[in-house]
Structure 1
Amino acid sequence: MDTPPAAYQGGALEVDRDLYRRIAGADRTPVLDFVLPIRSGQAWEVPAGHLCRVVTVEGPQVGDLNIWNRHNPRERLWASRTRQLQGAHVSTFDRLWSTLPYLRPLVTITHDSLAGYGVDDDGGRVHDLLGTRCDPYVNRMLTGEDFDFHCHSNLVRAVLPYGLTELDVHDVLNVFQRTGLNAQDRYFMLACPARAGDYLEFFAEQDLLCALSTCPGGDLSVPMWGPDARDPVEVCRPLGVEVHRPDPAALAGWSPPRVAAYAGGHGLARRPGSRAGTG
C-alpha cells in the first residue's frame, strides 16, 4: 500500500543542508561542559549561532528537553506542531519549532549519532515527540504515591533560577527515547538503544534557554507502571551537555529566523466607539 503524503509541505520547510554540514564540521571552541546526575535537572543558555550537544556519557539514558527563547519565554518549543512539520521522531536536519505567534525554528539538528537507527522490528524509533515528560500528577493517579523526581519536577527546579515556574515547563523532546504506537494506537516505550558516547547535536537559531532532565526511568528497560513495575534506579545514568562556538566563518549565509509573517488580526474588526473584542 502506498504511503500517504505528508500533510504539511512547502519550501519554508526546506533546509540548506550544505550550510548546516559546514557549521557542524567547522572548527569549534568549547564554551560550556557539564554532567547532569541521575534524576535531576539543569538549565543553561545557548547563544544564537552556537552548537549544543547532549551526550550519553556512561550508556543508555533518556533525557527530557525543554527550550525557550532566552529573552521571551512565551516563545518555546511547540512539540505538536513540530511533529506535524518534521516528524514524530526527529534527526539530522530536522528543526524544532516555536509556539504561536512566533512560529520559527528554535534549533536545527546538525548531528545525530543514532540517525541510522531507523524503525526497529517493534516499530520503535528514537528522539521522540510523540509523548511528553513523566510527571508526579500522573504517577499519583496511577500508583497512589508521590515521587518528586519525575522529569516535570526536575525541569521545574531547573528553571527556577531563571525566573520561570512550573507553568513555563512544556511538552518535551525525549532525547534518546525509543517509542511508537502499538496496534491499539497507544503509546509504548522501549529500552533506549544508545551506547556510551552517543549524542544529539543542535544549532541554536536564536538565543536560547534550555533545560534537561535525566529521566528517573533511566534507559526505560524497567517498567515504571503496571504489574511488573519497580524502581528502575539501577538503569539510571548521567547525561553530558556541551556548548561549542563554531568558527564564525562557517556561519556565512546564516541569519536568525524572523517571526511568522502573518500580520495578525484574525479577522476581528473593531467598530468606532466599541470596546475591544466586541466589534
Structure 2
Amino acid sequence: MASPPAAYQASAGGSLDVDREFYTRLANHAEQSSPVTDFVIPIRSGIAWEVPAGQLCRIRTVDGPQVGDLNIWNRHNPRERLWASRTRQLHGAHVSTFDRLWSTLPYLRPLATITSDTLDWYGEDDEGGRVHDLLGTRCDPYVNRMLTGEDFDQHCHSNLVRAVLPFGLTEFDVHDVLNVFQCTGLNDEDRYFMKASPARPGDHFEFFAEQDLLCALSTCPAGDLSIPLWGPDARDPLEVCRPIGVQVYRPDDKLLAGWAPPEPAGYAGQHGLTYAAPEPPR
C-alpha cells in the first residue's frame, strides 16, 4: 500500500527547489578552494567555529566511524538557529545532499545547504536505519542521571555548552542537533533506536554556509554507537570513540556568481495583534 504524500510541499522554484547545478559545482571544486581552517576535535569534547557566508564546511571522519552532534546559529543573532523539527518536516528525518538546514521563527530561511555526503549510498538498511538524523537530539547529563543515577560531564550537551562559552553563549543557546554520521530509526514500537555508524575513515558531510554561521560540534561519548550507553548491555564505549576533523574552504568568487544570502521569511502579518484583544476571563 502506498504511503500518504508529504504534508509540506512547495511550488516549483521555491526555497525547497534548490539549484542542484550550483551546489554540485561548489562540491566538485571544494578541495581546490582556498583552505580557511583545518582542525581536529578530540574524543568526548566539543569545539565551536565560524563559517562566513559563501564558504564550505566539511566534517570528516579521521580514523573511522564517530558520531558528531552539530549545532548551528546565525553568527550575529543566536536567536536564529537550526530548527531541527522543521527541517525534518521539510526534507526528512535524515538529510543528505541538496537538503537545507532551516532556521527558527520568525526567520525561517536556510542556514546551510548540504553539498556533499559520502554516505549517501547507505540509504535505508533492513532495520529501517538511515544516517545523519534529525530524529533524536543530543545526549545529556540530565537524562543520563535519570536513567543511571550517575553524573557524567562529557555528554554532547555538556561538550556543546563548553564549546560555545568563548562566543558568549550559554547552555540555554544549545539546541536540538543534527546527528552527523549517526545511524538511527524508529522500531516496531515507534521508539527511537541507534545502531553502529557505517562511516569509514575519510568519509565526510559537507555544507555551504548561506549566512554567517557559528557552528559547534561534539564528538559523542558513545563513539560509533556500536556499544550501548544505556540498558542491560551498556558499558563504557571509550574504545570506540574517535576524533572528528573539520575543514572550512573559501570557493573562488566565480563559483558564487549569482548567489546571495537568503532573506528572512516573507510573512508580513502581525499575528492578528492589530485586532481588538478579547476580554480576559474573570
Once the two structures are superposed, residues 135-166 of structure 1 have per-residue CA deviations (whole angstroms, 9 ceiling, x without a partner) of 00000000000000000000000000000000
| Structure 1 unmatched runs, 5+ | none
Residue among 89, 93, 109 paired with 2:98: 93
Once the two structures are superposed, residues 55-104 of structure 1 have per-residue CA deviations (whole angstroms, 9 ceiling, x without a partner) of 00100000000000000000000000000001000000000000000000
The answer to whether structure 1 residue 201 and structure 2 residue 206 are counterparts is yes
Which 10-residue stretch deviates more, 38-47 or 257-266?
Answer: 257-266
Shift of 1:269: 2.1
Correspondence for 2:4: 4
Q: What is the 5 A alignment of 1:95-114?
A: 95-114=100-119
Q: Secondary structure of the residue that 1:21 maps to in structure 2?
A: helix
Residues of 2 paired with 1:106 and 1:134: CA distance?
A: 23
Residue among 260, 263, 269 paired with 2:265: 260
Correspondence for 1:32: 37
Which 10-residue stretch deviates more, 262-271 or 121-130?
Answer: 262-271
Q: Secondary structure of the residue that 2:197 maps to in structure 1?
A: coil
Residue among 219, 232, 242 paired with 2:224: 219
Residues of 1 paired with 2:197 and 2:211: CA distance?
A: 30
Runs of 4+ with >3 A deviation: none
Query: How many residues are paired up?
Result: 273
- TM-score, with normalisation over the residues of structure 2? 0.95
Q: Secondary structure of the residue that 1:146 maps to in structure 2?
A: coil
| Structure 2 unmatched runs, 5+ | none
Correspondence for 1:152: 157
Q: What is the 5 A alignment of 1:52-131?
A: 52-131=57-136
Correspondence for 1:168: 173
Once the two structures are superposed, residues 120-145 of structure 1 have per-residue CA deviations (whole angstroms, 9 ceiling, x without a partner) of 01110000100000000000000000
Residues of 1 paired with 2:275 and 2:136: CA distance?
A: 41
Structure 1 residue identity aligned to 2:19 = D
Structure 1 residue identity aligned to 2:222 = G
The answer to whether structure 1 residue 15 and structure 2 residue 13 are counterparts is no
Residues of 2 paired with 1:57 and 1:79: CA distance?
A: 26
Residues of 2 paired with 1:23 and 1:200: CA distance?
A: 14
Residues of 2 paired with 1:131 and 1:52: CA distance?
A: 23
Q: Secondary structure of the residue that 2:144 maps to in structure 1?
A: helix
Residues of 1 paired with 2:2 and 2:150: CA distance?
A: 47
Which 10-residue stretch deviates more, 16-25 or 148-157?
Answer: 16-25
Q: What value does the CA root-mean-square deviation take over the aligned residues?
A: 1.2
Structure 2 residue identity aligned to 1:109 = I
Structure 2 residue identity aligned to 1:235 = V
Residues of 1 paired with 2:47 and 2:158: CA distance?
A: 11
Q: Secondary structure of the residue that 1:209 maps to in structure 2?
A: strand
Shift of 1:268: 1.5
Shift of 1:263: 1.1
- TM-score, with normalisation over the residues of structure 1? 0.96
Residues of 1 paired with 2:3 and 2:255: CA distance?
A: 38
The answer to whether structure 1 residue 238 and structure 2 residue 248 are counterparts is no
